[in-house]
Amino acid sequence: MNAAASPPTYAIEARGLDKTYRAQGKAPATHALKAVDLAIPRGSFFGLLGPNGAGKSTFINILGGLVVKSGGRASIWGHDIDADPMNARGAIGIVPQEINIDPFFTPAEGLELQAGYYGVPKAERRTEEILRAVGLWDKRDAYARTLSGGMKRRLLVAKAMVHSPPVLVLDEPTAGVDVELRKQLWDYVRSLHAQGVTIVLTTHYLEEAQELCDTIAIINHGQVIACEPTPQLIGRLDRKTLVVTPQAPIAPPIAGFKDLTFAMRPTGAFTLTYKTSEHSVEQLLDRVRAAGVAIKDLSIEEPDLEDVFVELTA
């Protein structure tokens, strides 16, 4: 781990970060990041979500030195990417979206090369430990071209960790990875997080982000439109849905629910969607009974990240 004198409050901090890709041929200029302010707390498991083209990869690639920003500032682990690029680069490991593994190296060779690239002394290399952690130790001597897609992706994670960076960024790491391997990947990333590594994840799998990330930022059209602890973000949707299965089939509409959203389910259950700030379950149940409905079963559904996401980016 990077031995900074006192660890920074933010693992990554961007202020007014701006990027315009120049016009090329017939393609017009693209304002991909618009004065983005984003502070990613040290130790967080941070989700960066946004629709395609929102600017997520641009943000990550500026941090990784692959894209040159047009304006603003960014620092990684307290190191400004302009003033102190060596330390900034050394503090971050990035797992790219594209698989870019040399097909003629074995996983063990690839990790050794990467460690050499970062100047990690031989005695401090953790090739075996890392390959075991990502489940590739038994493939250590196989050519990378013989690895499956999921194995290659795990090898990318392994490569990003050779210099023990305190910040690990995963750009859409589970696209095309099957469920079992995804679980294995997350187990490893979770164990890194438990050891204190700050994790930044971009993903389209909202469920995954909801399950893994303690803080989530939503980016759209190059702007951060939300950045909050996950429960708070989900709590932004002040609504729940009461699902009632009646003892006997009912014929909708039932009277007395004009102030709520009423819907039927194919199962014969009906739903009442209500604002938690305006209605209590107890009061709703009284009203259901008052409408002459005998209740067989009921449950309450809460909004998930998908709902928030759709609402915010609509």
DSSP-assigned letter for residue 299 = E
Q: How far is the CB of 169 from ligand ADP (least distance, A)?
A: 12
Q: How far is the CB of 97 from ligand ADP (least distance, A)?
A: 8
Closer residue to ligand ADP, CB minimum distance, 96 or 166: 96
CA 106 to CA 143: how far, in whole Å?
Answer: 4
CA 287 to CA 70: how far, in whole Å?
Answer: 59
209: buried, middle or exposed (CB in 10 Å: 19+, 13-18, 0-12)?
Answer: buried
Taking the CA atoms of 172, 177, 180 and 185 in sequence, report the sign of the dihedral they define: negative
Closer residue to ligand ADP, CB minimum distance, 97 or 276: 97
Which of 47, 55, 90, 173 touches ligand ADP (CB under 6 A)? Answer: 55
- Angle at Cα 309 formed by Cα 279 and Cα 13, nearest 5°? 115
Residue 21 within binding range of ligand ADP, rule CB under 6 A: yes
Q: Which of residues 89-108 bind ligand ADP (CB under 6 A)?
A: none
Residue 30 within binding range of ligand ADP, rule CB under 6 A: yes
Q: How far is the CB of 88 from ligand ADP (least distance, A)?
A: 20
The 56-95 contact track toward ligand ADP, x by CB under 6 A, reads xxx-------------------------------------
CA 304 to CA 314: how far, in whole Å?
Answer: 16
Closer residue to ligand ADP, CB minimum distance, 223 or 276: 223
Closer residue to ligand ADP, CB minimum distance, 34 or 163: 34
282: buried, middle or exposed (CB in 10 Å: 19+, 13-18, 0-12)?
Answer: exposed
Q: How far is the CB of 286 from ligand ADP (least distance, A)?
A: 47
| Phi then psi dihedrals of residue 170, to 5 deg | -120, 115
Which of 6, 52, 100, 267 touches ligand ADP (CB under 6 A)? Answer: 52
Residues that bind ligand ADP (CB under 6 A): 21, 30, 32, 50, 52-58
